[in-house]
Each structure stands twice: as structure tokens, then as C-alpha cells.
Chains A and B, each alone.
Chain A
Amino acid sequence: MTERTQSATAARALDRRIVVVWTVQTAAFFLVLAAIVLVVDVGSRLAGADPPGPPGLAAGLVALAGGLLAWWYPRADYRHWRYDVAEDALELRHGILRRVHSAIPYFRVQHIDVTQGPVERLVGLSRLVVHTASAGTDATIPGIAAGDAEGLRRLILARAGTGDAV
């Protein structure tokens, strides 16, 4: 019980810069989608079909919706993300529509990957992916300052010890 109250206070938020990463990623996705819609729209008009509305309307709507989503979603996601390097387990809480609270005992950890995508590299963030012997384990911490990732990894591995985790 005390453990739980402790862990509640020790919960950490992600690095704020992750909002930039997610915004760029979401916006890029919707830009590509809007471009595809635009190509289909213009193409079908050139081919003689007559879709409703003026040319470019559909693509504009997609871009608008994408823009709103790219603004709102990363911020909401960021607000809900907490991770906690508790005494005996790594605990993650995240999700907006589908909320997830997952916990990975340290002694189950097989290995930990630290990865960086191109956008993450630009803003100096890393992603920590914790693996156990189960494929079902969901343990990715997306926004860790690149300088801290190595330390966090070492901390978790130190707590993981050297037991046989299967």
C-alpha cells in the first residue's frame, strides 16, 4: 500500500519535446493523406468524372481535420502519459480513448532498446523499448531526453539483476 502511494508521487511525465515529435508525425501523416486525396480528386476531374464540391475541397477538409488532430492529440496524449520507475517494476500509464496501465517487473526484463527516429533525433529525444520473454508486453517509453535514456536503461537493467527470467 505504501508502495503504491510512493509510486504515485514518483510518477514522471515525458519530456515536453515529445509533443513536437508527435505533432510533426501526425501532421506529416495527414499531409500525405491530403495529397493523395488531392491527386485522386484532380485526377478524376481530368478523367471526366464530376465529384461533388469545388476542386480541392476534400483535400482541404482532410488537411483541416488533420491540423486540428495534430494540434489536439499530441497535447492530450502528453498530459496522460506517466511512467514510474518504481521499486520492483516499471509502470506506465497512458492513452486517451483506450487507457492502459501496464507494469513490468524488473526481474522479467530481457533487454532494452534505445531507438531514435529522424524527428526524435532532431529534437534530441530517445525512445526506450523494454522487452520481456513475452511478445505481449507493452513497454515503450516514447519521450526520454537522449542524454537520460542511457542512464534510465542502466537503472532498469541494474534492478533487473541477473536471474533467469523465464
Chain B
Amino acid sequence: MRSEDLAVAPGGGGLRRLHVLSPVFFAAGHVRRLWPLALLVLARRQLWLIVAAVVVLLAVTTLEWLRRTYVLEAAALRVEEGVLARKLRVVPFDRIQQVDLVRKPLHRVLGVATLRVETAGGGRSAEVDLDVVSLGEAQALRSSLLRAKAGAAEAGGEEAEAAAAAPPERALLRLSVGQVMLAGITGTRAAAVLAVLGPLSQLSDWSPSLSDWLLRRFNPEAVAPTTPAAVVAVAVLAAAVWLGLAAASSVVTDFGFTLARVGGDLVVRRGLLERREAVLPIARLQVVRVEESLLRRALGLASIRIQSAGRAGGADQTASRLAIPILPRSEVNRVLGELLPGAAPIPRLLAPPPVARRRAVRRSLVGAAPLIVAAAVVLWALSRPTAPAALLGVPLAVLGGLAAYRSLGHARRDGFLYARRGVPIRVTTVVPVAKAQSGSVRSSLFQRRVGLATLHVDVAGGGPTPRVLDEAEENAEELLQVVLGRSPGPRFSGG
């Protein structure tokens, strides 16, 4: 009966339609899907044809709009649609994983929004898009969906109570434009820019006349740098452009990044042109990963990834919607405590036994061997005397292995397991033991020879499996008992 009260709360429980402007957005969607046809119509350059096409399109989409209704029932969101083929979709509240509010630039001008309801289970069809509703309706709908959901998951009774009383919002983290730009410059985005520059270099395929013109203005042979100073200048310029683009792309997606807590939910807002607002019930949070690349560590920065129990297939997408692109190292523990209530600050980690160092070095050497051989072959082909230079890779690989060993570590505190590994990106994984689905201790022949084993903690959601690598076998077995929620007491010797 509680959930019924909730369901009728947002403005009468009857059938509702999307915003009146929706047919226009539908039409735009159709045009985008049928773009060859649209181009064909436009190419005829006859006004009557274009007008007729627009009229037909709007008539069809208006019909679609009329047929598309949604209603909040006692325990489910029910969406009916389809002009010819009719479709009915019922999303039970307790299946809702996440509710996103997306506002594209045009949406913001018109005061509307897309509400995206994401459910557990695979595939893109696991989503319901209400495209578009008025902003007020979207917000009301979202809060009543999340409240109804909290009511459905009777687990947190008092939490649901608290959520029902329109909880206040508490900002946890806000990023300035400068920080967002820094995230782009120091992050993987700098690499992603190459993907944008790639197509630009194909310009000649797109527009031969333009590239001809460019060629006439800047003869490559005349422009090509000849002196060392010129080479340096070009390199510096290229790097500046590159980093500038990385910063800009970061600003486009993450401008005005805010992480806030509203009742039992985590809310993430971001975006310059397209505002995105993701909401994740905090109880659905499975794992938090703190990532520090070498560069970011030097600058005292880190980033955080959050894994929810969402869809296995689209987990990456969900994760990127929730990720914190950058934050000062000093803020990590505070944010961690907010994301995982009860989690202690990242403690001093226990290093694995010294025999693990040799294994780390060996693993690094084995991994680097093909690269070293390939480098030697290339150098040999270029000029024979330089081939031994490839052997420089060996000490580098050894150093990498030693660094990998230094990054290893684990700890457990108050129901949380902390595990760290990785070079050059050091990842500290924090798993609430209560979220572990299962666990295993695995050891290869080489590990067993020196008494080491690796603990895997299986969690819901699509991210990588948290691991404690190369720990002493009995410690790994003991950690497995902790993961299973059995006596976490003092270390016992026997097995």
C-alpha cells in the first residue's frame, strides 16, 4: 500500500503522454535513421516535395506520439507504443538500476529532457527512453521512480522513509574547469585525440579541392622543417595542439562535474553542451577503483571508477557515466568514505612476500621479451651495429617488474578489502566484502613452487575481477574466508 501511495503522488496516476514537442524529436530521429532518403528529397530541390515530406513525417510522428503513453502503476512503469505493431513494456520498479536525465543543447533551449530508465539484464533493449518530457516532469518522474524503487526494495526501510521526504542534496565533489582540463591533459583522452586527428588527415579524400588549395599555400617540401630548431618548434606546436584538443574534449563531456548525495542515491552531473545526470542507488555500488597513472601520481592527482551491478554488456558505458575524471589525491579518502559508507581511508597496505618480487620481475621480462626481440629485428634491418641496443629493454623490463612488485599490496578493514596493483596505472580496488558474490584462490605451477597464490573476488557487474596478486598461499586462503564472511579473526596457522 505504501508503494501505491507513492505511485499516485506525482500528479494523478492516469495515462500520460510525452511532451508536445516530442513529434518533432521523433521526426528528427527518423530523418537521422533514413538519411539517404532525406538526402534524396533535398536533392530534388523542389519546395513542394520537401513540404510534403515534412507534413507526412509530422503526421506520422504525431500519430506515434498519440499512441505512446506511459503510466506509473503500483509496482511498475508501463509504456505502451506503436502505431501498426503495438508494443507494451512493463518495467518493475525493483528491476530499475539507474535513472539518467539527459539534456542535449536543444533540450535545454526548449526546457525538456530525455529520461532514460536502465534495468538490470543485458542488451540495449533493457532501457526505456522517454524522449522527450518537460524538465519538471522528468525530475518528478525520476524522483518518484527512485522513491518507488526504494520502497520496492524493502531492504532499507528507514532509508526509504528518508528518501520519501524529498531529501536535501549534499554536494560531495565539484570540479572546476581547470581541473576538468587537467583531467583531459593527464588522462587517456590525450591518446583519444589521435582518433580525432586521424580522420582530419584524411581530408584530401573528403575534399580534394581543399587539399589542393592547402598544398598550393603550404608546399609540404617548403614547409617541412629542416633545421633541428624547426623540428623542435613543430613538435612543441603539435604537442600544444594535441593537449589543447584533449583538454577541450574533456571540457565538452565533463564541464561542471558534480558528485552529490541525494538520500540513498548518488547523483553525477556533467557535460557542456549535453548535460547528463546519472543517478545510482548507493546500495547498488559494488566496487570502487582509485586509479593513479605515473603522471597523475607525480601531480598528486587520481581518478575514481565506480562499478554498479548494472548490465554486463553496457557496464563500460554505465561506468563511464559515473566515473570521477580527476580529483586531488588528498580528497580520495573523503570521497571513498562517501561512496562506500563505513569504508576506512585507504590504509597502509601489506606487501606480498619477497619471493613475489622475483615473480614480478620474471613476469615483466616474459611480457617484454617479444617487444625486445621485435626491436632487435627492426634495428638489425635498419643498421646492424645498432641491434644490441635492443638489449636496453632488459634492464627496463627488470625495473618495470620491480615497480610492479612495489605497487602490489592488500589490506582489510571493517568489512572492506583493499587491493592494489599495476604499473604504469596503479589501481587500488576497494571491495565491500558484503558485495562479493564468490571467491577463489588460484595458483599456477610457478606460483606454487614458491608458495604464492592469487585471490579472485567475483563481484556483480561488468568490470575486471578484483584480485590480490601473489600473496602467500595461507594468507590468500585466509582472505578467501574473509570474503566468504567467515570468522575474520586473528591469523590462524593451520590449513
**Chain A interface (Cβ within 8 Å of chain B)?**
1, 3-4, 88-89, 95, 97-105, 108, 132-139, 164-166
Contacts and interface: CB of A to CB of B under 8 A. Distances in A.
A4 B478 CA distance: 11
B245 interface: no
Contact of B486 (A3, A108, A165, A166): A3
B492 A1 contact: yes
A98 B437 CA distance: 22
Given A105-B485, A164-B155, A100 B440 contact: yes
Nearest to B466: A136
3 closest pairs, A vs B, by CB?
Answer: A102-B440, A136-B458, A134-B437
Interface in B428-465: 437-445, 448, 456, 458-462, 465
Contacts of B459: 134, 136
Nearest to B492: A1
Contacts of B460: 132-134, 166
A95 B481 CA distance: 20
Interface in B473-489: 477, 480-481, 483-487
Given A3-B486, A89-B484, A135-B462, A103 B443 contact: no
Contacts of A134: 437-438, 458-461
Contacts, number: 81
Nearest to B309: A166
B440 A133 contact: no
B442 A88 contact: no
A136 B465 contact: yes
B174 interface: no
Interface of B: 120, 153, 155, 284, 309, 312, 437-445, 448, 456, 458-462, 465, 477, 480-481, 483-487, 492, 494
Contact of B439 (A103, A135, A166): A103
B442 A98 contact: yes
A165 B436 CA distance: 10
A38 B442 CA distance: 38
17 contacts: A1-B487, A3-B486, A100-B442, A101-B441, A103-B438, A103-B483, A132-B458, A133-B309, A133-B460, A134-B437, A134-B458, A134-B459, A134-B460, A136-B458, A164-B155, A165-B437, A166-B120
Given A98-B443, A99-B443, A137-B458, A88 B438 contact: no
A3 B443 CA distance: 23
A166 to B, nearest CB: 5
Contacts of A133: 309, 437, 460
A134 to B, nearest CB: 4
Contacts of B120: 166
Contacts of A97: 444-445
A135 B309 CA distance: 11
B475 to A, nearest CB: 13
B462 A98 contact: no
Nearest to B495: A4
Contacts of A100: 440-442
A164 B443 contact: no
Contacts of A3: 486
B361 to A, nearest CB: 21
Nearest to B444: A98
Given A135-B462, A136-B465, 6 more contacts: A88-B485, A95-B442, A103-B440, A105-B484, A134-B459, A138-B438
Nearest to A100: B442
Contact of A103 (B448, B480, B492): B480
